[in-house]
Amino acid sequence: MLVLGIGFGARFLSPGEVWSGLTDPGSQYYRIVHEMRLPRTLLGLLVGLALGLAGAIMQALTRNPLADPGLLGINAGASAAVATSAAFFGVATFSGYVWFALGGAAAVTALVYAVGGGRAATPARLALAGAALNAALYSYVSAVLLGNTASIQKVRFWTVGSLASADFDTLRRLTPFVAAGLVIALLAARPLNALSLGDDAARALGARPGLIRALVIVAVTLLCGSATAACGPIIFVGLLIPHLVRPFTGPDLRWMLPYTAVLAPVLLVGSDVLGRVLGSPGELQVGVVTAVLGGPLFLYLVRVAK
């Protein structure tokens, strides 16, 4: 997948040319690979991992097969915070965006969970709460950008999700947030398995439901907020991958999360490659491609969700 991500673009590079661009500073492909395609592909892998893990632990926490950071408005919350920071505070770098994005993601995570009914939430109520917040927040983003045209160029890719602005500085700053979210998610796997049996059963097994929920919210905030700050709102990755993985691993998160961490990056980078192929000589943004791929699955899950 790394070779595919580097090879496809405005000019196709063969595997030999990719290797030359990676290893030979004197190669004519070295600059193309190291300044554009390698950071873009690595960002796709990192963001895919973040969104896939966030979706898996959200579905486990809420017992909701429709849970996804994009569908429940969490990415929209981060996007609204980023748009606010760019329009009103002049923030123009990832290191500035990310703190606003984390705050927006945390606020919307708690709000959706509360509006949807908390522990008594049903899949339909959570989906409706997320849809309402999504609509409101994206309307706010549009209003902010229309009212401050200077901000449009700064945050234009947040409207659909894109990897086009990737660079190694963003990767370096994003990695600690994703790593922290990954560690927390993996540590929460066993307690979340217990929580799926109900609060009373979880307590009997030694788990602390309140602490588990707090840890999951922290992990989702770190994963979704930082990923959205880096490349904008990308939906359906967190919905698709857990449903593809679960038939092979079962519901045990100790198996689901590692497989999700491997397959979600493959999906996102593959979607980015597909967008470049279908949109050649331009490109379709990766957020558009994942929306097209995830839409049919979402409609199916809405029909079968109880």
Q: 44 and 272 in contact (C-beta within 8 Å)?
A: yes
Whole-number Å distance between alpha carbons of 291 and 81: 22
The yes/no answer on whether domain 44-304 falls in CATH 3.40.50.1000 is no
Q: What is the mean pLDDT of residues 166-185?
A: 93
Give whole-number Cα distances, 305 to 96, 251, 290, 302, in Å: 39, 17, 21, 5
Higher pLDDT: 223 or 119? It is 223
What are the residue boundaries of the structural domains of the chain, listed by start? 44-304
* pLDDT reading at 301 higher than 80: no
Nearest to 93 by CA among 210, 229, 198: 229
pTM, rounded to two decimals = 0.89
**Res. 155 pLDDT band, cuts 50 70 90:** low
Place of tokens 């509360």: 114
**Does residue 11 come out as left (phi exceeding 0), alpha (psi in the -120 to 50 range) or beta?**
beta
Q: How confident is the model at residue 86, as a pLDDT?
A: 81
Q: How confident is the model at residue 305, as a pLDDT?
A: 56
